[in-house]
Amino acid sequence: MRRLLFAANWKMQVDPAEARGYAAQFLGATAPVEGRTLWFFPPAVSIESAAGALRGRPDIRVGAQDVHWEPKGAFTGATSIPLARGAGAAGALVGHSERRHVFGESDEATGRKVRALLNAGLTAFLCVGEKLEEREAGKTEEVVLRQLRAGLAGVEAGALSGLVVAYEPVWAIGTGRNATAEDAARVHQTLRSELGRLGATTRVPILYGGSVNIGNALGLLAQPEIDGVLVGGASLDPDGWAEIVGIGG
Ligand code: PGA
């Protein structure tokens, strides 16, 4: 059976106490589904309480929304991989479009973070996606391939088993607009071919993200190229998110 990943990105929301309340409600509304893994990405301050409250469900993992590539040092405001791991993180998002476009994070910085995560044995969720003007200029493929190659620069083929890729068209994030399932699947195919050229021997999960909700999730997941979803807004309500992670299961 095909494995599916459901990833919840809470962004700058859900404090430690709210994370405990969310977890209790979510756990009460769901049971593990064979072949499905659930990831939660709380803000850094809530990783520990989310991980603690969700412990005991072997299908659930918690990750950080961002990490620094250095293990320690004078980087005020940043979260290192050892700090995130100590709080209960098993992986991290890297290069989310808000990191790239709001915080000006470069392709090169993204690559350093991916390498540091994989070297530490954590799962790296490398996010890629084109802006609206890039899509309209016919540059979707060029942009996502550039981001993928830069994000994986210096990564040995054998380490790709610790990787998840998320395709999130920037124009679809938080806007209520999303790519059609067929459009998304075409981009996933392009990414998958490139992963093959880079030497991936196992199937790297490729998630779709951008205004995913209960109404469109099933159509997206019906595409064999789409291995799961990365969800912001629709993951904030525990009952709504429970419905999405159970969809079609
Ligand atoms: P959205 O966010 O589901 O609210 O569009 C997705 C994301 O940014 O990961």
Residue 92 CA to ligand 1 center (angstroms) comes to 15
Contact present, 222 and 7 (Cβ < 8 Å)? no
β-partners of residue 93 are 125
Q: Is the CB–ligand 1 distance for residue 225 below 6 Å?
A: no
pLDDT in tens, the chain (249 residues): 689 999 999 999 999 999 999 999 999 999 999 999 999 999 999 999 999 999 999 999 999 999 999 999 999 999 999 999 999 999 999 999 999 999 999 999 999 999 999 999 999 999 999 999 999 999 999 999 999 999 999 999 999 999 999 999 999 988 888 889 999 999 999 999 999 999 999 999 999 999 999 999 999 999 999 999 999 999 999 999 999 999 988
Beta bridge partners of 80: 68
Domain CATH number, residue 31:
3.20.20.70
Residue 70's alpha-carbon distances to 79, 115, 201, in angstroms, are: 9, 11, 28
Lookup: tokens for 107:
């392709």
Please check whether residue 172 is in contact with residue 181, taking contact to mean a CB–CB distance below 8 angstroms. no
For ligand 1, is residue 51 a contact (CB within 6 Å)?
Answer: no
Q: Which amino acid is at 2?
A: R
225, 2 Cβ separation under 8 angstroms: no
Q: How many domains does the chain have?
A: 1
For residue 182, report the distance from its CA to the centre of ligand 1, in Å. 19
CA-to-CA distance for 197 and 23, rounded, in angstroms? 40
CA–centroid distance, residue 20 to ligand 1 (Å): 22
Residue 200 structural domain: 4-245
